[in-house]
Structure 1
């Protein structure tokens, strides 16, 4: 059993050995979930590979809190550790969150900037489609852990 699992991993690593190549572009949409305070949000973003295995991935999340309004902007760098069907990466970057607990009142929006770091994986499902999962810690407030899922559409290669 162990040999067959190792053989499967070797096949995935070498049989489908295509990497993140310079110029690749991906568009991502999906849900975000703040683990400590149980907020759900929707995000949209784009990823551009500017050097092989290294990309920049800006994204915007609109949160749906119990009261008020909240949104988040991330500007992340991703470094891909693996190639193939399952591409694992580490990431880090800038994050800014806007909070408004009293919408409609002027001057009530609070803006907090900080950093974030985490790891993720892209699962290549079809030629122009994939799924992305990501877990990251955002430094604003209480070092909020965020779980992100996304549908990814490949635009260029």
Structure 2
């Protein structure tokens, strides 16, 4: 009896595991994006991916590097690393709408060239963890390229709204 139960359980796991793997392989996407952050008030470039884990649910890691900026002799470098879960409320042949919830790590580095203040230079960097909440949409155009747009609010000390758009390549 125990052997039959083990065999049945193994067969069930193989069936569902094979279905999950074949589904995940057809819906995996990698992409590139342009973003704007309201706290840094600058444009960034980024990469992201989508890995299906269940029907209507994907894991979406991403990275955004904001272009360095110089304000009154202070150089600011800012980047963020994201690990999101995207839940698809609507996903048909032409349009996919999803909610975003996840974790964020933001790193800010500031360099101060003190040429006007006695020649003293200073450098400081800080990294913080936060939460992402937002929404996005995929626009299925019938090819292996999928345009998308997202808006998320990063809840962190120095919170910011990040608006982004780009393309994902279906694998």
Match for residue 88 of structure 2?
A: 80
Match for residue 100 of structure 1?
A: 109
Count of aligned residue pairs for this structure pair:
135
Q: Which runs of 5+ in 2 are unaligned?
A: 1-21, 70-74, 113-120
After TM superposition, the score normalised by the length of structure 1 is 0.79
Describe the superposition over 1:60-111 as per-residue Cα deviations: whole angstroms up to 9, x where unpaired: 11111412211100000000011211100001000000100128x8973210
Describe the superposition over 1:26-47 as per-residue Cα deviations: whole angstroms up to 9, x where unpaired: 0110101013542110000111
> How large is the RMSD of aligned CA atoms in angstroms?
2.1
Describe the superposition over 1:5-58 as per-residue Cα deviations: whole angstroms up to 9, x where unpaired: xxxxxxxxxxxxxxxx94020011010101354211000011101111100000
Correspondences of 1:8-87 after superposition (within 5 Å) = 22-23=23-24, 24-66=27-69, 67-84=75-92, 85-87=94-96
Distance (Å, rounded) in 2 between the aligned partners of 1:56 and 1:139: 19
- Kindly indicate whether the alpha-carbon contact (under 8 Å) linking 2:111 and 2:123 is maintained by their aligned counterparts in 1: no
CA gap of 1:147–1:79, structure 2 versus 1, over 3 A, is same
Of structures 1 and 2, the one scoring higher in RCO (CA 8 A, sep 6+) is 1
- Kindly indicate whether the alpha-carbon contact (under 8 Å) linking 1:32 and 1:43 is maintained by their aligned counterparts in 2: yes
Match for residue 3 of structure 2?
A: none
Q: Tell me which structure has the larger Cα radius of gyration.
A: 2
Q: Which runs of 5+ in 1 are unaligned?
A: 1-20
Match of 1:121 among 130, 133, 137: 137
Q: Which 4+ residue blocks in structure 1 deviate beyond 3 angstroms?
A: none
